[in-house]
A = this chain, B = another copy of it.
Amino acid sequence: MTFQITHHNGQARVGILNTAHGLIETPFFMPCATKATGKSITTDDYQDSGVKAVIANALMLSLKPGMNIIQKAGGLHRFMNFKGIIFTDCGGFQMSRSIFEKKEKNGLYFRSPYDNQKIILTPQKIMEIEITLNSDVAMMLDDMSGYGVSKEEARTAMENTHRWGKECLDIHTKLRKRHNSKQLLFGIVQGNFYSDLRIESAKFINNLNFDGIAIGGLAIGEPKEEMYKSLNATLPLITKEKPRYVMGVGSPEDILECISKGIDCFDSVYPTQTARHNTLLTWKGKIDLHQGKYATDFHPLDRQCGCHTCQNYTRAYLHHLAKINEPAGKRLRSIHNVFFLQEIMEKSKDAIKNKIFAKFKKEFLKAFQRL
């Protein structure tokens, strides 16, 4: 059985996802290993910070180091020495003007940032890449439209997504057999911020035989109300039997809100990107490490925190590293934020098991938003 729910508390649930590289308890949060590494933080740092799963990008890895090398290494887990679960995504690059060229019915057209080579990402190509990477969960090829586009543009992207989804599923079924692989394939709901499109997309993707359902195209710069409106339109149409994954989320507040709605998986650059920019998460709220008051604050970032950074360094020292622009500071800050998000996930699971998730969420937010 791929996914089994073990505990309920309102809509929130704890479950177990069964993958080729082992079991993982849901809900879980994945930091990014886009190019087979975090930014300024390594996969061993992730593991030491309690991370059980990461998400890498199939397109980027196919460009560098290239599939040949990852195949020779024995797959992505061995290449980057990560012993947990790996998801691979392929899309999202429509947002990156520097490498995206255009989309056609057959797929997405890119230019490699490394050698300017033309790349056409089709369902066939991406499924082959993902099965070769040997990730635990492959994401289908989707077409994500940006915030603020016309309904027509949103509909085209949604229809591409649906067509590619069906193709990915067919191709993946064959590849999985041929490679004798246990890789899972997740579908992705699109539909932009138009509720009727979200409903249409949710129904379509939910009816296909995916191992899990992701909701894509959220947390891309829209106001919070828009995000939750789209999410609320989508969720009732998605089966509760499969793992549900909101892509690109994110902040502690959004993660807890989504968990309360029954979401099981998350990924985001949030903890590492904010850390690089000196925003640190604590149980008493966010702090901006650049502020002068931290120059003489000889406490750890968070007094309750067991992370490597808090065990070794003070706010005053980390403030100093920020002021001299020392790259090592980015790593120390990232370790803390990643550890903090993992702690939130652990506490959330405990709260759901103990049937007190609503109380936990309320108390967390009260303390977190105080500063």
Q: Is the CB of A328 within 8 A of B296?
A: no
Interface residues of A (CB under 8 A from B): 35-42, 44, 64-65, 69, 72-73, 79-81, 295-296, 298, 308, 312-314, 316-317, 319-321, 323-324, 326-332
Q: Is the CB of B73 within 8 A of A316?
A: yes
Q: How far is the CA of A44 from the CA of B317 in the complex (A)?
A: 13
Known: A65-B316, A65-B320. A330 touches B332 (CB 8 A): no
Q: Is the CB of A323 within 8 A of B73?
A: no
Q: Is the CB of A36 within 8 A of B320?
A: yes
Q: Which residues of B have CB within 8 Å of A317?
A: 36, 73, 79-81
Other A-B pairs, 4, CB within 8 Å; known A36-B320, A38-B328, A44-B308: A39-B328, A40-B328, A81-B313, A331-B331
The 8 tightest CB contacts between A and B, nearest first, are A65-B320, A42-B328, A40-B327, A327-B327, A44-B312, A81-B312, A35-B324, A37-B326
**Closest chain B CB from A337 CB (angstroms):** 15
Chain B residue with Cβ nearest A80: B317
Q: Which residues of B have CB within 8 Å of A295?
A: 65, 69
Q: How far is the CA of A296 from the CA of B74 in the complex (A)?
A: 11
Q: Which residues of B have CB within 8 Å of A319?
A: 65
Q: Which residues of B have CB within 8 Å of A81?
A: 312-313, 317
Q: How far is the CA of A319 from the CA of B319 in the complex (A)?
A: 32
Per DSSP, chain A at the interface is helix
Q: Is the CB of B331 within 8 A of A296?
A: no
Q: Which residues of B have CB within 8 Å of A330?
A: 327
Q: Which residues of B have CB within 8 Å of A79?
A: 314, 316-317, 320
Q: Which residues of B have CB within 8 Å of A321?
A: 37
Q: Which residues of B have CB within 8 Å of A40?
A: 327-328
Candidates B35, B308, B316, B328; contact of A331 at CB < 8 Å: B328
Q: Is the CB of A296 within 8 A of B327?
A: no
Candidates B65, B80, B332; contact of A42 at CB < 8 Å: B332
Chain B residue with Cβ nearest A113: B324
Q: Is the CB of A65 within 8 A of B314?
A: no
**Closest chain B CB from A335 CB (angstroms):** 10
Q: Is the CB of B39 within 8 A of A320?
A: no
Q: Is the CB of B296 within 8 A of A69?
A: yes
Q: Is the CB of B324 within 8 A of A64?
A: yes
**Closest chain B CB from A112 CB (angstroms):** 13
Q: Is the CB of A298 within 8 A of B72?
A: yes
Q: How far is the CA of A292 from the CA of B79 in the complex (A)?
A: 17
Q: How far is the CA of A319 from the CA of B320 in the complex (A)?
A: 31
Q: Is the CB of A326 within 8 A of B39?
A: yes
**Closest chain B CB from A317 CB (angstroms):** 6
Q: Is the CB of A73 within 8 A of B298?
A: yes
Q: Which residues of B have CB within 8 Å of A327?
A: 39-40, 327, 330
List, sorted by A's number, 15 A–B pairs whose CB atoms are closer than 8 Å. A35-B320, A37-B324, A37-B329, A39-B327, A44-B308, A64-B320, A65-B316, A69-B320, A72-B316, A73-B314, A73-B316, A79-B316, A81-B312, A327-B327, A331-B331
